[in-house]
């Protein structure tokens, strides 16, 4: 029996949809392209936020909040940037609603239309221009956690939605070298977060020119392979050169007394990574989450067959919680739902250990539980063994997830591709995965690949002549 | 010498502006009516969030995230609600920008215009309608931390801005009693947060009919008195009856097997409270923050006159930090700014203890510091006394703030007003403050008061025949 209604092997795309919905992470809203993030999904995001936020603060980055709206004429000051976003922006044009002939109509047209931020380089740059006067004000390191909007036609929960949540860091520096170094360091932070924390194997790469963020000089990317062999851009860090500092005038008095333009960087990761997490670690039973971001590590389900034994079972559940609490997040689910339904619900949600505690466990001083990884397995132990047992399972959990993901990754990676023909052959055969290639790729090659739905994801940071070809989300 | 450029007694409104700007909490942005919340201001907000968020979670409330946009036709389903907000909404009407005759123009008109949420009863209610099927699904308790937009013509930093940050809690219940109880409980939580945590004396009240939230049956409010005697609505909790459940169809199978409409509540507090904090505890030297939300409790400023002694001074600063760290948030400010400027900056920011550490302190094993409350005072002690001294100062800090605020409050409160004439006399004399009144107030009375800029803020929860008259923010 599988907990999810669709298997990965049947239809990966439908499986993904089922995993999100059936683990109760998120759902579509009536607003076209927007999603509702439900408690379990939002809790995963909160855990991610808290880990990243702590890291950013350790690095001296300070949180701020900048306006949701960007006046269109400000946005337009940087040509490449506006061109990159002009076709996918929500534009506010009115400030009122009025009932005209029984129908609510926008009225009160505003002078300068406002774009709902798709990203904040321009609006944050404008503040930077005010804040930076001397080289002593640099580096300037800020971040905001917020919502952004990009008008998307075809949307998928977490992966591509009109509105999404993210953090966007923005920094200004005295020299090109410092700004580059900072952008690279943040690339390293994302690498740590994605591989060490989320246990998603990913490639540190640099985007080709034509795939860069609009306005960037260099875009560093984390490319992760999903179980269907497609790539997901999991986070990016941009070295922006003087593009934005020239557009909005971030100038400072240098050490040589001359007025000069600052060098900036920006870097972000979004709720999209939750989609990546699901497509990396999910299985036919549901999603799986590494320990540090799991909403709960252990869920205890009391099984009450007789009201008489209710109190003693609840007490025993509390006793179990008390031996593992502190180190792990533990939930005792006392809701009215049927225990069997609860169990499958938590399996779909990827809870690493699910205890089912009934009268027999109380009287025999034992604990019945289900381990989620590497396979769902029903286990039992004496009460006094449970602390050590659960702890060893939870310590192995992340490792198991990572090993599985890495094995899948290896299986779907082909190396040493030296010609367009070899590359085409791979994808024409119907296979998916990462092709690690190394040849002088031409515009014509790129077009041929593009027609097959394949793109150059990035060149490798550690081996810049090599590049990755893949289909992508 | 005063740290701020304007004194409260000169011009309270200009003083407020100066306090926000000169303590570097926030500033205006180029987007009309929107502000930029700067690191110190945002850190205060983060501390507030973390305290409230923990409390909400303890009460079983779970965080979610709902769409920024509300289709206008959905919004319009509740007459009173839409009428309350129709005149102050940002409306998205287009999804693209295009260059026409060299000018960027909104194109791609969208079918149903989208309102940027001014509040989320309708859009969250729509999700509730999907989630609630049986009485077993109730109560449903959710919250979101997000941005909202209300088109304001006259804006003031924190107090009234077009976009602001807040939390909005939304709940659905089986019975009217439960929903009312919950709304009242959250009112109690806000009372705890505002008086016990923020040390702002405030009145627990109920709004008169004509001042209720659009669509609410009852609005419970916290009314705090600012130093100029004006009232600030600091948080509200609404019992919404079946208004929204009928508008969007939140129906459930009751215990009697009948389909029935749920009863809902909503409750919120916003970044506006930072304005209230400043106008309650601020003085002519700058802002003051109670301990639990202060970004830093102790700032140590190294005073380097001679590069030779730099390392020993830095080491000594670390040594000071090490004895107080853990219990308190401590910053050693090693930036290049002049020590004198740093000191005044932290005074304006309301840091409770500011140490100035130079060569002499190192050699004499002593600590020179400035205590912020009850008055700025320069003190000194032996190194081994500093832990106890600073701890006793910080323990007194909140109490001092509260006592000052309470005294101001008492001074500007007049009680036992029994007629419109007595009330008018008070305000006509040019005094400001809270008038605690008790008479059968008529529509005509209300209009007369309104002409004087005075309104009925609320009736008292503990004494419902009494009501508060005041000018308000």
Residues from chain B contacting residue A58 (CB–CB below 8 Å)? none
Pair B98, B105: CB distance under 8 Å: yes
Q: Give tens-digit pLDDT for A30-64.
A: 898 999 999 999 999 999 999 999 999 999 999 99
Q: Which residues, numbered 320 to 379 in chain B, qualify as contacts with chain A under a Cβ-Cβ cut-off of 8 Å? A: 335-337
8 A C-beta contact, residue B330 and residue B297: yes
Average pLDDT over residues A68-88: 91
CA distance B28 to B36: 6
Beta carbons of A145 and A170 less than 8 angstroms apart: no
Within 8 A by CB and 6+ apart from B35, the residues are A67, B26, B27, B28, B29, B155, B157, B158, B161, B163
pLDDT tens-digit map of B187-220: 999 999 999 999 999 999 999 999 999 999 999 9
Sign of CA dihedral B207, B210, B216, B217: positive
User: Confidence band (pLDDT; 50, 70, 90) for B89?
Assistant: very high
**Residue A95 to residue B98, Cβ atoms within 8 A:** no
3-class secondary-structure state, position A102: coil
Compute the average pLDDT of residues B369-393. 97
User: Sorting pLDDT into bands at 50, 70 and 90, what band is B326?
Assistant: confident
A246 phi, psi to nearest 5 deg = -75, -35
Contacting A residues, span 46-85, partner chain B, CB-CB under 8 Å: 46, 62-76, 82
Distance CA B352, CA B379 (A): 13
Indicate the burial class of A203 (C-beta count within 10 angstroms; 0-12, 13-18, 19 or more): buried
Q: Chain A to chain B, count of Cβ pairs less than 8 Å apart? A: 195
Compare CB distances from A64 to B36, B115, B335 and report the shortest one's residue: B36
Summary mean pLDDT of chain A:
96
Residues B19-35 have pLDDT tens digits of 999 999 999 998 989 99
Percent of chain B scored above 70 by pLDDT? 100
- Give ∠ CA A20-A23-A29 in degrees, rounded to 5: 50
What is the rounded CA–CA span in Å between residue B249 and residue B243?
A: 10
For residue A212, give the 3-state DSSP assignment: coil
How is residue B100 annotated by DSSP? E
pLDDT (0 to 100) of residue B201: 97
Region A82-108 average pLDDT = 92
| Degrees to nearest 5, angle at CA B277 with B274 and B283 | 125
What is the token pair recorded at B330? 């401590």
| A38 contacts B136? CB cut-off 8 A | no
Is B429 within 8 Å of B383 (Cβ atoms)? no
Among A196-210, A394-408, B94-108, B344-358, the minimum mean pLDDT is found in B94-108
What's the confidence (pLDDT) of residue B12? 97
Cβ A60 vs Cβ A171: under 8 Å: no
Question: B136 to each of A38, B132, B255, how far by Cα in Å?
Answer: 18, 9, 9
Q: Report A:114-173 residues touching B (Cβ under 8 A).
A: 114-116, 123, 126-127, 130, 136, 142, 146-147, 149, 151, 163, 165
Residues of A in contact with B72 (CB under 8 A): 97, 104, 106
Q: Which whole number is the average pLDDT over B226-241? A: 98
Q: Return the percentage of chain A with pLDDT > 70, whole number.
A: 100
Domains of chain B: 12-98+107-281 (3.30.930.10), 296-393 (3.40.50.800), 412-470 (3.30.110)
Each residue's pLDDT tens digit, B67-85: 999 999 998 898 888 889 9
Angle formed by the axes of helices A272-281 and A12-22, to 10°?
110
On chain B, the residues whose CB falls within 8 A of the CB of A335 are 136
Q: Quote the CA–CA distance of A397 and A372 in Å, as a whole number.
A: 9
pLDDT at A218: 97
Alpha carbon of residue B285 to chain centroid: 21
C-beta separation of B240 from B251 below 8 A: no
Count CA within 13 A, CB hemisphere, residue A289.
Answer: 29
Q: Would the pLDDT of B137 be above 60? A: yes
Binned at pLDDT 50, 70 and 90, residue A102 comes out as confident
B154 confidence band (pLDDT: 50, 70, 90): confident
What is the rounded average pLDDT of the residues A10-19? 97
3-state secondary structure of B313: helix
Q: Using DSSP, state whether A417 is helix, strand or coil.
A: strand
pLDDT at A101 over 90: no
Please give the pLDDT value at position B1.
Answer: 55
| Nearest-by-Cβ selection for B30 from A74, A95, A151 | A74
Query: Residues B61, B65, B67, CA angle at the centre, nearest 5°?
Result: 140
- Taking CA atoms, what residue in B is nearest to A41? B64
- Give the list of residues 6+ apart from residue B34 with CB closer than 8 angstroms, or none: A67, A68, A69, B28, B161, B162, B163
Say how far residue B412 (Cα) sits from the centre of its chain: 22
Quick one: pLDDT band at residue A1, thresholds 50, 70, 90? low
Handedness of CA B9, B14, B20, B22 (dihedral sign): negative
Alpha carbons B191 and B38: distance in angstroms, whole number: 27
Q: What is the mean pLDDT of residues B431-456?
A: 96
pLDDT per position as a tens digit, A267-280: 999 999 999 999 99
Q: Is B443 helix (H, G, I), strand (E, B) or coil?
A: helix
Tell me: pLDDT of A296 over 60: yes
CB A247 within 8 A of CB A229: no
**Residues of chain A contacting residue B95, judged by C-beta atoms under 8 Å apart:** 88-91, 151
């Amino acid at each position: 029996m599988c907990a999810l209604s669709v298997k990965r092997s049947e239809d990966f795309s439908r499986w993904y949809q089922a995993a999100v919905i059936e683990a109760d992470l998120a759902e579509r809203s009536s607003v076209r392209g927007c999603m509702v993030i439900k408690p379990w999904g939002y809790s995963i995001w909160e855990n991610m936020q808290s880990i990243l936020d702590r890291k950013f603060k350790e690095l001296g980055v300070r949180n701020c909040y900048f306006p949701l709206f960007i006046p269109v004429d400000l946005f337009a000051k940087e040509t490449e940037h506006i061109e990159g976003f002009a076709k996918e922006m929500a534009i506010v044009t009115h400030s009122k609603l009025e009932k005209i002939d029984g129908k609510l109509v926008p009225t009160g047209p505003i002078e300068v239309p406002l774009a709902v931020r798709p990203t904040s380089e321009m609006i944050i740059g404008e503040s930077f221009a005010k804040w930076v006067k001397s080289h002593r004000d640099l580096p300037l390191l800020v971040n905001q956690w917020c919502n952004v909007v990009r008008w998307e036609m075809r949307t998928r929960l977490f992966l591509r939605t009109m509105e999404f949540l993210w953090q966007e860091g923005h920094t200004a520096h005295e020299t090109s070298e410092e700004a580059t170094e900072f952008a690279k360091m943040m690339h390293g932070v994302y690498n740590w977060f994605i591989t060490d924390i989320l246990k998603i194997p990913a490639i540190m790469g640099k985007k080709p020119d034509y795939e860069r963020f609009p306005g960037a000089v260099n875009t560093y990317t984390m490319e992760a392979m999903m179980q269907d062999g497609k790539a997901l851009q999991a986070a990016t860090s941009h070295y922006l050169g003087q593009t934005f500092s020239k557009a909005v005038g971030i100038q400072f008095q240098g050490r040589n007394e001359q007025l000069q333009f600052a060098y900036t960087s920006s870097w972000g990761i979004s709720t999209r990574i939750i989609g990546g997490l699901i497509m990396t670690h999910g299985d036919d039973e549901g999603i799986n989450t590494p320990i540090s971001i799991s909403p709960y590590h252990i869920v205890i389900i009391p099984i009450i067959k007789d009201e008489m034994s209710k109190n003693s079972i609840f007490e025993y559940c509390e006793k179990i919680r008390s031996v593992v609490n502190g180190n792990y997040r533990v939930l005792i689910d006392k809701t009215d739902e049927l225990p069997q339904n609860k169990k499958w619900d938590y399996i779909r949600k990827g809870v690493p250990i699910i205890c089912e505690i009934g009268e027999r466990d109380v009287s025999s001083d034992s604990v019945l539980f289900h381990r989620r990884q590497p396979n769902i397995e029903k286990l039992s132990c004496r009460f006094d063994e449970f602390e050590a047992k659960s702890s060893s399972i939870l310590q192995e959990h992340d490792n198991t997830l990572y090993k599985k993901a890495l094995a899948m990754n290896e299986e779907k990676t082909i190396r040493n591709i030296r010609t367009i023909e070899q590359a085409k052959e791979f994808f024409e055969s119907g296979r998916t995965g990462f092709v690690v290639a190394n040849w002088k790729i031409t515009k014509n090659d790129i077009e041929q690949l593009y027609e097959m739905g394949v793109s150059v994801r990035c060149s490798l940071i550690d081996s810049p002549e090599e590049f990755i070809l893949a289909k992508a989300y």
